[in-house]
Structure 1
Amino acid sequence: MVEVYAEKCPNYSTVTHWVRKFKSGFLSEMDEPREGRPTSVVTEKNVSTVEGLVKQDRRITVKQLASETRISSLKNASMQWKIPSSSPPKKAKVTQSSGKVMLSCFWDCEGIIMTDYMVMGKTITGEYYSGLLKRLRSELVRRRRGKLRNGVLLLHDNAPAHRARQAVETADQCGYEILPHPPYSPDLAPSDFCLFPNLKKSIKGRRFEDIEDAISALEEWFQAQNDTFYSQGLLKVKDRWQKCVTMQGDYLEK
């Protein structure tokens, strides 16, 4: 007779199970091999298969991987891909910024008409944007004589503040004609595909002591650009809109 001592084993059914197995002549302490779902999906074959799929298409989704490999646990997998033998990639330590400032910029083919720098901690609302449109009208009278009489076309995106009733009514009172702009299409706004990308290149890697120092650098860059830079940026709008129509609304990279 084989005696089994289960010290500190609260699971009585488990002990009974093994006693029965030992009595039947099974004296091994290891489970017998059986068919069914493996205890782990991290095998050389699965790793090789997933790695091959990722290298073929870097944009493949976790859902697609799970479907291709029939490994359901991939749906809850980490979004960070790495080979098991390699160390995880290093992550840069994020340092807290000393401050941020929100820039609102109005410009035409001749250059900058007006800039506004919002105080940190506030957000642009319909009321705030309405005030900017009123200030813009005053700047147009001072800087662009005759433009209001000839008509002003206003192109901005579909941000909530821009679509607010108060902002729309103010634009109508000021005599602006708002050009239609498809939602979620920054590739069709001149500030997004022309002005801001070039501005970011000029200040990339620079460190500013305070908000005033950053604002001074931006204003200097705006003034340094010639009229051709601004006029060409606006002329690209027609070509990009035509490409959008040709591509049936698909996003434009360049």
Structure 2
Amino acid sequence: MTTALEGVDLTVAAGEFVAVVGRSGCGKSTLLRILAGLLEPTRGTVDVTGGSDGVGMVFQEPNLFPWYSVRDNVALPLRLSGVDSAARRARAAELCHDVGLAGFEEAAPHELSGGMRQRAALARALIRDPTILLMDEPFGALDALTRDEMVADLADLHAASGATVVFVTHSIPEAVQLAERVVLLTPRPGRVHTVVDVPLPHPRRDTTEPGFQDVVRQVRDALEAADS
């Protein structure tokens, strides 16, 4: 049996944005799935305040139903919860506007770009106003410009919603741009090696400023140390 994680001790405050980075295979996605209740830990406990109904999750792939419109994909969690058609359509339209999909509500997923499909997945995760948002490399498959747009939009959505966010990424600059703390995991089995505070004001649009690059170097140096 492969041990993905071992001795992970991590507390995330309400409303905090925490990024998790580490080498491929270090258990980042496993950690997120345990937090989401999709996997049971073999040892230890997980306390997610707010329960499973208050958790939204965004995966690397949008996982949209091809036979549903954007609106129906976004509204699906409300449909499964028994919310009436008018209410769920209104809420889906509101979120489509918030994530930049206004005018595409009736489009099919195959008619959208990769970035637009991921925006739909983000809207679907937000449809029940989660207090906790778990994101597993949601921008990893996007081109650089679309990724930058999504990072900026996510920062704005987090500021507006006040949700707690745990964000897994391979991109150190992306982690520093978004997070209040960056958690570095060691290679498998994943352990918390270092937690780096990001003492920079939001929004962090200028990623070339010296203070931003100093934190990026600090995280990169800590990640290299975790590998040794």
- Do Structure 1 and Structure 2 share a fold, with TM-score over 0.5? no
TM-score (norm 1): 0.21
Query: Greater share of helix residues, 1 or 2?
Result: 1
TM-score (norm 2): 0.23
Query: Greater share of strand residues, 1 or 2?
Result: 2
